[in-house]
Amino acid sequence: MTTMLYRAYRTGACILALATALSTGFAKAQTPGNDAEPATRSTQETVARSLDFNDKADFEDANYGFIGTLPDAEVKTPEGRVVWSVAPYSFIKGKAPATVNPSLWRQSQLNNIHGLFKVVDRVYQVRGLDSANMTIVEGDHSLIVIDSLFTAETARAALDLYFQHRPRKPVGALIYTHGHVDHFGGSRGVVSDADVSSGLVQVIAPKGFMETAIAENVIAGNAMSRRGQYQFGGMLPVGPRAAVGIGCCTGLSRGTVTLVPPTATVDLPIERRTIDGVELEFHLVPGAEAPTEMIIYLPQFRILNMAEIVTHMMHNLYAMRGAEVRDANAWSHYISGALEKFGDKTDILIAQHQWPTRGRDRIVNLLEKHRDLYKFVNDQSLRMINQGYTPGEISEKLRLPASLSKEWANRDYYGVLSQNARAVYQKYMGWYDGNPANLNPLPPVEASSKAVEYMGGGDAVIARARQDFEQGNYRWVASVMNQVVFADPSNKAARSLGADALEQLAYQAESGLWRSAYLVGAMELRDGVPKLRGSFKTLTPDALRAVPTAMYFDLLGVQLNAARAEGKHLVLNWNLTDELKKYTLNLENSALTWVEDKQDANADASLTLARSTLDAILLGETTFPEAIKSGAINVGGQPEKLMELLGMLDKFNPSFPIVEPDAARQ
């Protein structure tokens, strides 16, 4: 086969959109960042005065129970490649420089605290060795591990760190709190296939885990990966004028992402189980932070694990990389339920990111403030929607009351209030703001060209924008320079001024994600889209094995170029011998559809192959022609019809332009 099917899948099936965004091999930016402008310095001083930086309670909690760590939290592969280290972030100490929002600087200091920590007797956490936490509960004879970090290397290192300080016991259970890759990707660093298949280890996840873990980023994976590069800033250098962390954590490791499928699921809203002498009460909380998720109460230890629905930050209702918007109302209700059920039974609240909270009063306060945070954003956004406000107006006007905004755990480190307000609008109203002038606007290049023409041409716009830049109007300068660049991407002055404006917005941003997006935009305006180093892979064998075969055919449909397919009619039978499944693909009316458990007697061609052969093709280990030649695939009928279909598939560009027009799309 041509490599089209492989490319189509690898750029589309992106369970690892998050991983790709942070670990793709890009050349680092060469253009140094500018210093903070006077307006930015003034903004930072205002932030510093508005918050109580003398409050050290979070630092006390983050350091409490420290046992030991790895030097610089550094983790390497057996070949010596560094997959995780906080050493590059060692500059984040003392007073914040003017190029970093003081509140984000404080959050980054907290996120950089790393090592093995004792929560209570028999309950430990490894924090700061990856983006998420590994929680380890000591059973009578074995260990219960809650979440396995992002990659196998860091998960293995976390478990080894634990064994350096605690008696060695086998892992008897691995629990996934939800289906985001930074919570399951290290699974093979914790358990082995042999122990799982033999029943020595059980792997427990909430209902629907595999479907959501695989499916959330599959169909639009190429776009999510590219946008994720902006959200997480994985290609940025580290430094006070560059990356300082992403709010929820320092970053993600760059190792091997794996997935050991669950052997058991929590199916009921509330389930109580005893594992090796440890009582666990599982509560499903789907549709909030993740499509499927569960929190866990440990009554013996009076510990409430809120997974990722309560952490020390405002979370995303909408992810900039792209995802379905989340339900703030349901989110608030889940927290309210946890508060009512466990508020007076909890001495320590932990989560699968960041540090614990101790003491009943502080725990209740954290739960109440998070409950009210998401309810406020939901209800007040809807109130303004019903008054006729548009998304931009709501985003600009909505402000938290001081009782919420002064709480460190409610700050915009990851999710952002204005962004979340837009998410509520999108959930209930969609993209259209109701104004018919916005119902069918011109596309960006045409609209920008007309706007710049009306404003007197690029030179005139830039001259006036320079004055606005000097006055600190960076949002407007970034917006209007975007129009000039889309009207004329070769205009170096517009690109430079637009980059300068984005950079100042980055320095002011409290959100690590907004900082990343602004800085990546500035980098690409100055230096162009970075070139990939080596292969661009968003797929691992573990992830591939978890993808339903039928999803391949949906991905083929997404890749189908309608113009090339126009007027064509093809029918292909697929017989997967090891899965004992049959499919018929039908190309007609420039749409590719499929039916399971069917074979068409009049098909143009019939393919008989093992699913493992298809996996090998999608991983680039072989091709269709090679597999046919070797006998791994038998083709009846007209083999050329398969090649004809493959010739109709688009190859996606994993580095498509964002801050400038794409010549290929014009």
Q: What is the pLDDT of residues 298-355, one digit of tens each?
A: 999 999 999 999 999 999 999 999 888 999 999 999 999 999 999 999 999 999 999 9
555 shares its domain with 459:
no
Q: What is the layout of strands, in order, in the sheet containing 202-206?
A: 66-68, 115-120, 123-127, 134-138, 143-146, 171-175, 202-206, 264-266
Amino acid present at 586: N
Question: What angle do helix axes 458-470 and 474-487 make, rounded to 10 degrees?
Answer: 160
Check which CATH number belongs to the domain holding 314 and give it: 3.60.15.30
169 shares its domain with 244:
yes
* Alpha-carbon span 106 to 247, nearest angstrom: 10
Confidence of residue 1 (pLDDT cuts 50, 70, 90): very low
Percent of the chain at pLDDT > 90 equals 82
Structure tokens given for 245:
């962390």
Confidence of residue 173 (pLDDT cuts 50, 70, 90): very high
From the list 157, 186, 19, 189, the residue with the least C-alpha distance to 76 is 157
Q: What is the pLDDT of residues 591-637, one digit of tens each?
A: 999 999 999 999 999 999 999 998 888 777 888 889 999 999 999 99
Structure tokens given for 422:
């837009």
Q: What is the pLDDT of residues 398-425, one digit of tens each?
A: 999 999 999 999 999 999 999 999 999 9
Give me the pLDDT at residue 218, please. 65
Give me the pLDDT at residue 220, please. 77
From the list 314, 521, 512, 527, the residue with the least C-alpha distance to 408 is 314
505 shares its domain with 542:
no
135-144, 304-313, 443-452, 552-561: least confident range: 552-561
According to DSSP, the β-strands at 581-588 and 591-596 are antiparallel
Single out the residue in 355, 373, 391 at which a domain terminates. Answer: 373
Check which CATH number belongs to the domain holding 595 and give it: 3.30.1050.10
116 phi and psi, to 5 degrees?
-95, 130
Task: Name the pTM for this structure.
Answer: 0.92
* Alpha-carbon span 461 to 501, nearest angstrom: 14
Contact call for residues 480 and 461 (beta carbons, < 8 A): yes
Q: What is the mean pLDDT of residues 45-74?
A: 97
Q: Which residues pair with 13 in a beta bridge?
A: none
Give me the pLDDT at residue 594, please. 95
From the list 264, 268, 245, the residue with the least C-alpha distance to 353 is 245
Q: What is the mean pLDDT of residues 233-242?
A: 94
Does residue 256 lie within any of the structural domains?
Answer: yes
Give me the pLDDT at residue 10, please. 31
Check which CATH number belongs to the domain holding 453 and give it: 1.25.40.880
Q: What is the pLDDT of residues 516-540, one digit of tens each?
A: 999 999 999 999 998 765 444 445 6
Contact call for residues 348 and 356 (beta carbons, < 8 A): yes
Single out the residue in 531, 555, 581 at which a domain terminates. Answer: 531
Does residue 385 lie within any of the structural domains?
Answer: no
Q: What is the pLDDT of residues 462-510, one digit of tens each?
A: 999 999 999 999 999 999 999 999 999 999 999 999 999 999 999 999 9
